[in-house]
Amino acid sequence: EKYGADIVPLEEDSDASESEIDEDALLAGLKGSDSEISDSEGEEDVFRSGQGKIDIDGKASAKIRARLDKLKKTSGKPGVVYIGRIPHGFYEEQMMGYFKQFGTIKRLRLSRNPSTGRSRHYAFIEFAHHEVAKIVAETMNNYLMFERLLKFSVVPEDKVHPRLFVNRNASIAPGQRLRAHQTAHNRQRTQTEVQAMVGRLVTKENKKRAKLAAAGIDYDFPGYKGARPPRAKHVKYNDSD
């Protein structure tokens, strides 16, 4: 309902974990897919300021509309479009608002940096009709938008990973992953964990001592052995106690 009647409402993905797809491999299979996944700084967010707008040439629009009208009378399988070199500000809401004029959108995923939430400048849109996806790719490929040539291509059906759109609506809190790692790293360790940690350090240290000895270097140092916590003593009780 948020983006209008042209959007098919789908259930949220039940799997809350990160998508496990290999995006680099997928992008490599798309010819001319300039992904430009770096987080560009300092770009003007023209869409948020209300200055960003996409227009299609009138004649081209009439031809496209005629083709789309024919497709409304037919049924077909879904098609996925890859979009590259997306400028900042052209996000999920703006894409939904614009591309729904071509046809029904089933799913959309804008790739974002999991740490900062910033756009990685490429996205995937699944249209309800594969032919609509082809029309979008043909019409919008190499469209100049604020000094960026947009790159469009239809993703082959065998290249569409089943988890491509998993967590597409998940919100990203900047620094959330870093804070989670910090919390896990700084947690209070149990005695068993401390003993295991020191044991690994002592093992590495013994290898260094062996190398020094093999090199004929007589050097001794306290090391981590003295830091190893004492093991808990087991007290035996007699039956008479």
Range 39-42 contact pairs with CB under 8 angstroms and sequence separation of 24 or more:
39/113, 39/116, 39/118, 39/119, 39/120, 40/88, 40/121
Provide the CA 183 distance to its chain's centre, in angstroms. Answer: 23
**Is it the case that residue 13 has pLDDT exceeding 70?**
no
**First vs last Cα of the chain: how many Å apart?**
75
* Per-residue model confidence as pLDDT tens digits over 81-129: 999 999 888 888 888 888 888 888 999 999 888 777 888 899 999 999 9
CB atoms within 10 A of CB 12: 10
Question: Could you tell me what percent of the chain has a pLDDT over 90?
Answer: 18
Average pLDDT over residues 153-182: 77
pLDDT of residue 88: 85
Where helices occur in the chain by DSSP H, the ranges are: 23-28, 58-71, 92-99, 130-140, 176-185, 191-214
**Is it the case that residue 48 has pLDDT exceeding 80?**
no
pLDDT of residue 45: 54
Kindly report the average pLDDT of the chain as a whole number: 75
Average pLDDT over residues 162-167: 82
Identify the residue whose tokens are 């029904």: 104
* Per-residue model confidence as pLDDT tens digits over 119-132: 889 999 999 999 99
pLDDT of residue 75: 76
Assign 133 a pLDDT band (cuts: 50, 70, 90).
very high
pLDDT of residue 16: 37
Q: Which residues contact 95 (CB under 8 A, 6 or more apart)?
A: 83, 108, 110, 123, 125
